[in-house]
A and B are shown apart, each in its own frame.
Chain A
Amino acid sequence: DVQLVQSGAELKKPGESLKISCQASGYTFSTYWIVWVRHLPGKGLEYMGMIYPGDSDARYTPSFQGQVTFSVDTSINTAYLQWTSLKDSDSGVYYCARGSRGSPLAGPLDSWGQGSLVTVSS
């Protein structure tokens, strides 16, 4: 079975750095795009961008370009989402999801991680 297991909840202060993880199993990690989605409190889902583990090709939406960094470690089938300087407005739930195989399409998202809650507060 395809599974994406994300790291646990984080409580951080503004200005701190953070890296959350998404470990994949049950399929060939390098051949499917990993998509990152944000869910803000009381709001809907927001597409952040995606990364192809096969060659670390990362694509960001304009809203997130320069704000976060996607990376992967194919030796442990894990994708990462990183911030260097968190803001209060980064608080939310972050999901990784499996996107398309090969083609750079951000969907359909057929398997999702359980979500990582990030709380940024002074």
Chain B
Amino acid sequence: EIVLTQSPGTLSLSPGESAILSCRASQSVARLAVAWYQQKPGQSPRLLIYDTSTRAPGIPDRFSGSGSPTDFTLTISRLDPDDFALYYCHQFGHAVATFGQGTKVEI
């Protein structure tokens, strides 16, 4: 099973700053099999990025994804108050899909 390790666990930033979230995989993962989700308290996760770097419909361009094959990054430029949430990376390129443990972006 591939382990995804996200860092940092918590990111304390201010609106307008940039956030860089890391997701390291214990084995190589195909770029097409990496996604990022945002989850706010009391809500379901929402797809932000798929195929490592493609924004899901309706996702602002301040969200961007990059990386491969074991190191993946989600960058949030110009943090909006609405962006303070929990973020998960996800790989589904191997038999057992896995999620990272999450990075909390807080004010």
Question: What is the interface of chain B, defined by CB distance below 8 A to chain A?
Answer: 33, 35, 37, 44-47, 50-51, 56, 88, 90-93, 96-102
Contacts and interface: CB of A to CB of B under 8 A. Distances in A.
Nearest to B4: A44
Contact of A45 (B45, B91, B93): B45
Interface residues of A, number: 23
Given A47-B98, A62-B96, A108 B45 contact: no
B90 A95 contact: no
Given A105-B33, A107-B33, A110-B47, A44 B92 contact: no
A108 B99 contact: no
A113 interface: yes
Contact of A108 (B90, B98, B102): B90
